[in-house]
Chain A
Amino acid sequence: MCGIAGVVFKDKKLHPVGDALTKMLDALQHRGPDSAGFAIYGGLGLEENEYLLNIEVKEKPGLLEAVKSTVNTVTPIKSEEIIPSVENYIIYRCKIALKSFGALKPLIMEIDKIEDVMVLNGAHSFEMIKDVGLVKDIAARYDTSSKMGTHGIGHTRFSTESIVDRYHAHPFQSYIIPDITVVHNGQITNYWKIRDPLERKGHIFETNNDTECIVHYMADKLSEGYKLEEALEQSVKDMDGPFSYIVGTPNGVGIAKDQLGLRPGVMAENDDVFAIASEEVSLREVMDTHNVEQIAPGETRAYTI
């Protein structure tokens, strides 16, 4: 099934987005127990040329040193942190500086060549946390309650089409333009029809996962100058299958739902908060409102700050 959620604090100030999303996703835990993830925007406070890398590394002698050496060959590591995970893996998190955003994906591909190492993401304006297991366990491991931000999206996964691992946990990210993320509930049945033209344009696909296809599609549209609302509206026309997905950008979040309305989606807002999710029980974790709106088949909603 999968559960999806997104929240925006309208005043553009920092709020405990990590805590809010944890509660929203925990309320949706029944929709998927495999893995969970968060993209928390606005709280990293990095310099303009700085990026945060989250790298999955198997606990094996010499492997972490090989990762550090590969990174240092391109750019010096400015700070680092090790987060314990499960199944004999750690998450190595480091801060680096690059001359341009265009240098980020080549560095990630270089690190990915190391066996038993996978870069989960590289980001400038958002913090990605994703791992296998239950929402509350992941939240405790990564201390999500301390993560501040302006807005964010999250996911709890019931895997149907691909394997359960950290990389296939949502959110997915695109490097076509900076910091676009997607969480998704459903399937894209015209996957290859969407993927083929994007690959011809040079966009690199790492997996056959349909969520990765959505995030590249959205990033491509945004890179062409579409506003978030326009890109979402076009995506509903172009994508087939049962789906609802939430897109995160550095300025906001939005949701799109398939034209037959086969996956759920609700939203609510007040003067302070805009929230979207699979079910009302999730919205109630961040606001007390009687007015919950159904996202209609083929409808999109977005809020940008």
Chain B
Amino acid sequence: MKEFEIDVNHKTPREVNRAIKEAATEYDRVTVKNPNAMHYLAAGLTEPVELVINGSAGYFVGTMIHGAKIHITENAGWFPADNMTDGEVIVDGSAGDGVGQGIYGGTVVVRKDVGSRTGEIMKNGTIIVGGSSGFMSGLFMMGGRIVVLGDISEDAGESIIRGVIYVLGNIKSLGKNAKVKKVNEEDKKELKELLTKYEFDLEDEKYDDFKKIVPRSKRPFYGKKSEEG
């Protein structure tokens, strides 16, 4: 494996991102040293590189990436993986508001708690939260899946149209057009495969405790006929 290291000290986000993109064409793994919660790290990265951010990242880490695998060893600020189309963003600590905002594909994993509006306007892809998720998680969700292993706060699934939110802990309240269903065997199998892949070790009986938040209607606002009609 070819590896490269970039020290962020005294560099601007533009300089760092240019260095990451250049290194990503030549190396398999790039490590960002001393990130000190810098904003916009790895914005627009489209190479299938493994990027390790050794510390905390600021706002919009991994925004608009396609194919890169980003591992943040501490925390992330607002909107990590915003509008990602493919790839992986893994945060070992906690993250701020809007985790996985608008993603089209790929997977975001935050091992601890996240702020509010997780997965807002997401179209596809997967978000896994190891802790709890805040206010209006899944706001205007249009597809994909969110998995929350802790609690989910007020107005979960506010104006959800498509997609699903799995919650292991408590649901404080549901938003408009959201309802709760029991998980079936297919859901549990899918969850076990997904969570095991990302090293969340749950006992088998825990999978029975998941609740599933889904839309009441696929056309809650624009008419009552068929979705695609």
Chain B: interface size category: 20 to 34
Asked if A117 is at the interface (CB within 8 A of a chain B CB), the reply is no
Question: SS class of chain B's interface: helix, strand, loop or mixed?
Answer: loop
Q: Taking the nearest CB of chain B, how far is it from the CB of A294, in angstroms?
A: 4
Q: Taking the nearest CB of chain B, how far is it from the CB of A279, in angstroms?
A: 6
Task: Kindly list chain B residues whose C-beta atoms are within 8 Å of the C-beta of A293.
Answer: 94, 113
Report the Cα distance A298→B155, complex, angstroms: 13
Asked if B152 is at the interface (CB within 8 A of a chain A CB), the reply is no
Report the Cα distance A292→B91, complex, angstroms: 13
What count of chain A residues pass the 8 Å CB interface test?
Answer: 17
Give B168-198 interface residues, CB cut-off 8 Å to A: none
Asked if A95 is at the interface (CB within 8 A of a chain B CB), the reply is no
Contact A279 B116 (CB under 8 A): no
Interchain Cβ contacts within 8 Å, total number:
58
Report the Cα distance A290→B91, complex, angstroms: 12
Report the Cα distance A296→B77, complex, angstroms: 14
Asked if B126 is at the interface (CB within 8 A of a chain A CB), the reply is no
Question: SS class of chain A's interface: helix, strand, loop or mixed?
Answer: loop
User: What residue in chain A is nearest B155 (Cβ atoms)?
Assistant: A297
Among B56, B113, B134, the residue within 8 A (CB) of A297 is: B134
Indicate with 1 or 0, residue by residue over B79-121, a CB within 8 angstroms of chain A CB atoms. Answer: 0000000000000011011000000000000000111110000
Q: Taking the nearest CB of chain B, how far is it from the CB of A4, in angstroms?
A: 15
Task: Kindly list chain A residues whose C-beta atoms are within 8 Å of the C-beta of B78.
Answer: 264
Q: Taking the nearest CB of chain A, how far is it from the CB of B173, in angstroms?
A: 13
Among A30, A261, A284, A298, the residue within 8 A (CB) of B97 is: A261
Among A261, A280, A298, the residue within 8 A (CB) of B58 is: A280
Task: Kindly list chain A residues whose C-beta atoms are within 8 Å of the C-beta of B134.
Answer: 261, 294, 296-297
Contact A297 B135 (CB under 8 A): yes
Report the Cα distance A260→B36, complex, angstroms: 28
Asked if A77 is at the interface (CB within 8 A of a chain B CB), the reply is no
A-B contact pairs, 25 of them (CB 8 A): A30-B39, A261-B97, A261-B115, A261-B135, A264-B78, A264-B96, A279-B37, A279-B58, A279-B77, A280-B58, A280-B75, A281-B36, A281-B56, A284-B37, A290-B74, A292-B94, A293-B113, A294-B113, A294-B115, A294-B134, A296-B115, A296-B116, A296-B134, A297-B134, A297-B135
Partner-A contacts on B (CB < 8 A): 36-39, 56, 58-59, 74-75, 77-78, 93-94, 96-97, 113-117, 134-135, 153
Q: A284-B37, A290-B75 are in contact. List 5 more A-B contacts (CB 8 A).
A: A260-B135, A261-B115, A264-B77, A264-B97, A297-B116
